[in-house]
């Protein structure tokens, strides 16, 4: 027990017996506190490879929002906020102009229902820097099963998102598909009237504005779906049947040709009316895109039937990178056992000889404390090489020294067989 605490307990005690009792109680509390700290450290160590940050908030979701009661060192490093600055505030300190309100509303609905939620949105560090925050939020319950807090495991995936922009071969000719691939939107009122359809939707079904005004939304669907959809509008219209709903189905082109679609609906409460907005993806179009990619790379489908990503931890020994950890997706993606790549020289055997020096420099940069993205080739079990993109980031220890390089590896679509 620290001398100042001991002195304070003596001052609060009326006699020796009271002092001994207070000291006993204090030691019990201190022991319990240390136990919880050990448990928390174990938890953080267990998930350190998967998440940058842990954030725990109170239960109340109403304004001004749930107060933060705990953040770990990873949160402080990721956001720039100290524990003292974060605790007592709400997660809104991370929000800003580009934070997607629709995602936050969906998050709130899920949490109100007591459900976990996985999502991502643009957040802001203390200095105003934007980053893409991926979070996995779960309820914490007491011994009776009542939710008491929310825990959020967070990941800065900014570099990953930036890297993914080059995953698709930019040389594939999509000019003929460009117009169809734009955002496709349809607005319908509570009576099923088509109030607005943007150009992308009109081109999709080959109806003009005036023609769409003369029909109901269910008239665009094949006969076997039409009655069911019509009933949802005409027999006890309930807005809940359309809020945040996902759907798949077929709509008809004006010529009668069926078009496979996938989409989501949301409700727009305007001043004088309520509209249902449907955002639609043309699955038929997606299939044509896949066929185009397939023709450009005969191995494309074989590659993507496997796992498309794995996580890793790497360090340097005698100037050579040594793998300390790879996730379970590694053997699925490469067909090679983790033990084989973790042995001395295993990484060198995995990477294409022409790319190895580039990869060494990539890891050296990360181990100096900088994030780095690198594209190179790795060998699969059958001896063929697949092109991947590696986005690495440093992992610090408690003394703010770089301890190792961590990151994730994703497949990259190659323009030609390697």
Query: What local confidence, expressed as pLDDT, does residue 271 receive?
Result: 58
Share of the chain above pLDDT 70, in %: 80
Residue 291: which pLDDT band, with cuts at 50, 70 and 90?
Answer: low
Query: What local confidence, expressed as pLDDT, does residue 172 receive?
Result: 36
Least confident piece of the model among 16-20, 21-25, 44-48, 328-332:
44-48
Q: What are phi and psi of 373, to 5 degrees?
A: -120, 135
Residue 123: which pLDDT band, with cuts at 50, 70 and 90?
Answer: very high
Query: What local confidence, expressed as pLDDT, does residue 95 receive?
Result: 93
Mean pLDDT throughout 164-169? 40
Distance CA 365, CA 75 (A): 23
Strands 320-326 and 246-252, how do they pair?
unpaired
Please say if the pLDDT value at position 379 is more than 60. yes
Least confident piece of the model among 74-83, 90-99, 180-189:
180-189
Query: What local confidence, expressed as pLDDT, does residue 361 receive?
Result: 94
Cα 93 to the chain's mean position, in Å?
19
**3.60.150.10, 3.30.450.20, 3.40.50.620, 3.40.50.1220: CATH of 300-411:** 3.30.450.20
Q: In sequence order, which residues have a C-beta less than 8 Å from that of residue 99 and are 6 or more positions away? A: 121, 122, 123, 124
Query: What local confidence, expressed as pLDDT, does residue 171 receive?
Result: 36
DSSP string, 314-347: EEEETTEEEEEEE-THHHHHHS--HHHHHSTTHH
Mean pLDDT throughout 159-180? 44
Whole-Å CA distances, 261 to 184, 225, 320, 358: 11, 13, 50, 43
- Exposure on the CB side of residue 316, measured as CA atoms within 13 A: 17
Residue 42: which pLDDT band, with cuts at 50, 70 and 90?
Answer: low
Query: What local confidence, expressed as pLDDT, does residue 284 receive?
Result: 67
Mean pLDDT throughout 63-81? 89
Model pTM score? 0.40
- What are the sequence ranges of the domains in the chain? 3-46, 48-156, 175-287, 300-411
| Per-residue pLDDT reduced to its tens digit, 304-339 | 344 567 888 999 998 899 999 998 888 887 888 999
Residue at token pair 């007491």: 142
Please say if the pLDDT value at position 292 is more than 60. no
Q: Decide whether 175-287 matches 300-411 in CATH topology.
A: yes
Residue 1: which pLDDT band, with cuts at 50, 70 and 90?
Answer: low
Mean pLDDT throughout 251-274? 81
Share of the chain above pLDDT 90, in %: 19
Mean pLDDT throughout 268-293? 70
366 by Cβ neighbours in 10 Å (0-12 / 13-18 / 19+) ranks as buried
Instruction: Check: CB of residue 57 under 8 Å from CB of residue 40.
Output: no
Mean pLDDT throughout 370-396? 86
Please say if the pLDDT value at position 87 is more than 90. yes
Report the CATH superfamily, name and number, of domain 175-287. PAS domain (3.30.450.20)
Mean pLDDT throughout 185-192? 87
Q: Which of 16-25, 127-136, 242-251 has the highest mean pLDDT?
A: 127-136
Q: Give the strands of the sheet with 246-252, arranged side by side.
A: 194-197, 184-189, 274-282, 258-269, 246-252
Residues in the chain: 418
Distance CA 325, CA 312 (A): 5
| Domain range 48-156, CATH class | alpha beta
Mean pLDDT throughout 246-275? 82
Measure the N-to-C terminal CA separation of the chain; round to a whole number of Å: 66
- Among 405, 390, 380, 331, which Cα is nearest to 358's? 390
Query: What local confidence, expressed as pLDDT, does residue 267 receive?
Result: 86
Residue 296: which pLDDT band, with cuts at 50, 70 and 90?
Answer: very low
Q: What are phi and psi of 199, to 5 degrees?
A: -60, -35
Chain mean pLDDT for the chain: 79
Query: What local confidence, expressed as pLDDT, does residue 78 receive?
Result: 92
């Amino acid at each position: 027990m620290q001398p100042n605490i001991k002195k304070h307990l003596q001052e609060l005690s009326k006699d020796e017996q009271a002092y001994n009792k207070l000291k006993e109680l204090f030691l019990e509390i201190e022991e319990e506190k240390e136990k919880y700290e050990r448990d928390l450290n174990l938890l953080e160590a267990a998930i350190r490879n998967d998440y940058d940050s842990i954030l725990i908030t109170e239960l109340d979701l109403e304004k001004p929002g749930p107060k933060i009661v705990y953040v770990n060192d990873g949160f402080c490093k990721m956001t720039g906020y100290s524990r003292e600055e974060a605790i007592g505030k709400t997660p809104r300190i991370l929000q800003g102009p580009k934070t997607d309100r629709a995602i936050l509303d969906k998050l709130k609905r899920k949490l109100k229902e007591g459900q976990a939620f996985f999502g991502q949105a643009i957040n802001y560090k203390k200095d105003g820097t934007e980053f893409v925050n991926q979070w996995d939020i779960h309820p914490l319950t007491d011994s009776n099963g009542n939710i008491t807090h929310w825990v959020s495991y967070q990941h800065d995936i900014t570099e990953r998102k930036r890297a993914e922009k080059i995953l698709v071969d930019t040389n594939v000719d999509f000019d003929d598909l460009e117009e169809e691939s734009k955002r496709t939107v349809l607005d319908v009122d509570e009576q099923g009237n088509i109030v607005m359809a943007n150009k992308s939707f009109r081109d999709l079904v080959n109806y003009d504005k005036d023609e769409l005004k003369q029909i109901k939304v269910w008239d665009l669907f094949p006969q076997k779906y039409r009655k069911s959809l019509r009933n949802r509008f005409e027999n006890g219209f309930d807005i809940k049947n359309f809020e945040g709903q996902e759907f798949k189905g077929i709509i008809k082109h004006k010529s009668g040709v069926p078009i496979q679609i996938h989409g989501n609906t949301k409700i727009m409460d305007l001043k004088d009316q309520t509209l249902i907005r449907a955002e639609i993806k043309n699955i038929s179009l997606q299939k044509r895109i896949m066929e185009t990619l397939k023709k450009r790379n005969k191995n494309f489908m074989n590659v993507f039937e496997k796992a498309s990503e794995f996580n890793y931890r790497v360090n340097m020994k005698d100037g050579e990178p040594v793998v300390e950890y790879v996730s379970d997706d590694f053997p699925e993606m490469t067909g090679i056992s983790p033990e084989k790549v973790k042995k001395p020289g295993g990484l060198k055997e995995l990477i294409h000889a022409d790319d190895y020096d580039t990869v060494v420099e990539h890891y050296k940069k990360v181990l100096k404390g900088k994030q780095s993205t690198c594209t190179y080739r790795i060998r699969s079990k059958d001896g063929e090489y697949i092109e991947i993109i590696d986005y690495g980031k440093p992992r610090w220890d408690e003394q703010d020294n770089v301890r190792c390089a961590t990151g994730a590896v994703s497949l990259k679509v190659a323009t030609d067989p390697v």
